[in-house]
């Protein structure tokens, strides 16, 4: 997963057709678990850019995206976030749900 911040967020979303953005914080155990799950899933979806935002460091971007709790996952296709993923709070145990969303994105 690539760490991003508000300065390069928009350009990355605009230039990659399929994007997953995970918001988390470093000392958050669920955030680490979700990161591991996404790392595993990313190997099956090489056409998807997997990005990570530290919500503590980049609070402005977290606020812009209405992140209220972490980890939070957002999915974007062709520069636009999917409406049903806005603020999608997820656990590592939801890996199958993430894969289902990704499969639909890339079809």
For domain 2-106, the CATH class is alpha beta
- Count CB-CB contacts under 10 A for residue 33: 17
Tens-digit pLDDT profile for residues 10-67: 888 889 999 999 999 999 988 898 888 889 899 999 999 999 999 999 999 899 888 8
Total-model pTM: 0.84
- List 19's β-bridge partners, or say none: 49, 76
- Which pLDDT score, from 0 to 100, does residue 92 have? 61
Please choose, from the candidates 99, 105, 8, 100, the residue with its C-alpha nearest in 3D space to the C-alpha of residue 53.
Answer: 8
Segments making up each domain of the chain, as ranges: 2-106
């Amino acid at each position: 997963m690539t760490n991003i911040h508000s300065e390069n967020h928009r350009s990355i979303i605009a230039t990659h057709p399929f994007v997953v953005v995970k918001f988390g914080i470093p000392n958050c155990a669920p955030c680490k678990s979700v990161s591991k799950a996404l790392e595993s899933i990313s190997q099956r979806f090489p056409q998807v850019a997997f990005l990570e935002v530290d919500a503590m460091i980049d609070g402005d971007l977290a606020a812009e995206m209405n992140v209220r709790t972490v980890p939070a996952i957002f999915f974007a296709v062709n520069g636009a976030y999917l409406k049903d993923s806005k603020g999608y709070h997820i656990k590592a145990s939801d890996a199958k749900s993430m894969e289902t969303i990704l499969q639909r994105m890339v079809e």
